Structure 1
Amino acid sequence: MNKGSDRLIAYFGYGSLVNLATLATPYRHAVPARLKGWRRHWQSRPGDGWPERALLSVHRDNACEIHGMLVFDGASSLPSLDERERHYDRVPLTPQDISLACNKAPEMLQSLGHADFFVYVGRAQQAGKPPLLQSYLHTVMDGFLASHGEEGLSAFMRTTAGFDREILEDLHAPHYPRMTPMAEARRRRFDRMLREAGVRFAGDPAADAE
């Protein structure tokens, strides 16, 4: 499919997709946005050769609005996107679900056909409470800080349920293949924020007491 005939699609990213450095496809346009009526949460995921770890997903919550990234791409990228999000299903959205700054994105949204605008939602979770992945979380948090500033980073922590679990500290041998580089001081800050949200690190007094 050539670029001229490539149908336009758009999706709302609420985790690693907020960090544009992790995108593997040559997207057309991306703009920080908010999704109304949804909340993020951590859940279990099927095993796929990686150590068991938590998966970030969303569920409907009319009282919540979450920060994220609205990404426009060509339909030819769908196979790659679906492979990346293979533990997720595409759920259709409408332009009315999105809040964003005034730019060309609203007009682009209105031009989309049915099911061409969506969010990836994790499939039904399995039993258990697997750990979070430090390399993934640092990349996600860095994306929110870059795209939404301090307010957006704080909102990510506040509007995500399920931080009360252990973390797999893998920065020296990252399991997340798209971990982005950043200063050590920023990593330490992110870890402090995670502890404040209830995440348990190895060696923490609260973790040792369990």
Structure 2
Amino acid sequence: MTDPQFFGYGSLVNLQTHDYANPRPATLKGWKRVWQQSKERNVAFLSVLPSADTEIEGLLACVPNGDWAALDLREHQYDRIDVTNAMGQSAPTAVYQGQPAKIADGALTRPFLLSYLDVIIDGFLEHFGEDGVQRFFKTTDRWDTPALNDRQNPIYPRYVQVSPDALDLVDHHLSKLPTVVKQPM
């Protein structure tokens, strides 16, 4: 029997944040990456939404023996959605989407953590190179979200040391966007 797998499109692309088996680059068609804010969190987070004309890059990795418990716990603010057919996979494949009932509507006023974005971009740089980082920024919506610069004292719970190149790319791409980077309080 083939182990089920998940498609990671954010921090799960950075292999320093997990040890799931057989990670490999993949593309998910019919979905887009988006910044959202939860009614239960003080910060914005990445999620995905169906989008017929969009595709995003990320990693596929196996969930040994179909034991989703640890990954479901890590992604507790998300629903696990079956995308087996969308990915053309024979093994059951899932993506995690922010729980719609917990998403706050309206303008994005809660910031995303710069430490979170740094970890994500470090993973994309490793697996997809600088072009992949550029595609990440291009295929992610809601960059009108403010950013909290927590680099000196990272708040993101799965923060790992990232490469100076990843930090430079984050700063470069954010400088081209309407994002307002705030200093920590």
Aligned partner of 2:40 in structure 1 is 47
Unpaired runs of 5+ in structure 2?
none
Q: Distance in 2 between matches of 1:62 and 1:18?
A: 23
Deviates more, 1:172-181 or 1:78-87: 172-181
2:7 pairs with 1:8: no
- 1:34 alignment partner, one of 27, 37, 62: 27
Aligned partner of 2:74 in structure 1 is 84
How big is each residue's C-alpha offset from its partner over 1:104-126, in whole Å with a ceiling of 9 and x where there is no partner? xxxxx42x2xxx31111111211
TM-score (ref. length: structure 2): 0.88
Shift in Å, 1:185: 5.4
Q: Return structure 1 stretches of 4+ with deviation > 6 angstroms.
A: none
Cα 1:75–1:89 change in 2 (3 A) is farther
TM-score (ref. length: structure 1): 0.78
Query: Are the counterparts in 2 of residues 29 and 73 from structure 1 also a CA contact under 8 Å?
Result: no
How big is each residue's C-alpha offset from its partner over 1:181-201, in whole Å with a ceiling of 9 and x where there is no partner? 134454233122112122112
Deviates more, 1:73-82 or 1:62-71: 73-82
Shift in Å, 1:173: 1.3
Q: Which structure is larger by alpha-carbon Rg, 1 or 2?
A: 1
Query: Are the counterparts in 2 of residues 46 and 87 from structure 1 also a CA contact under 8 Å?
Result: no
Cα 1:30–1:184 change in 2 (3 A) is closer
2:19 pairs with 1:18: no
Query: Are the counterparts in 1 of residues 35 and 145 from structure 2 also a CA contact under 8 Å?
Result: no
Aligned partner of 2:98 in structure 1 is 122
Aligned partner of 2:87 in structure 1 is 98
Cα RMSD for the two superposed structures: 2.0
Query: Are the counterparts in 1 of residues 22 and 61 from structure 2 also a CA contact under 8 Å?
Result: yes
Pairs aligned (count): 179
Shift in Å, 1:151: 1.8
Deviates more, 1:178-187 or 1:83-92: 178-187
2:140 pairs with 1:153: no
Identical positions, percent: 35
Deviates more, 1:69-78 or 1:134-143: 69-78
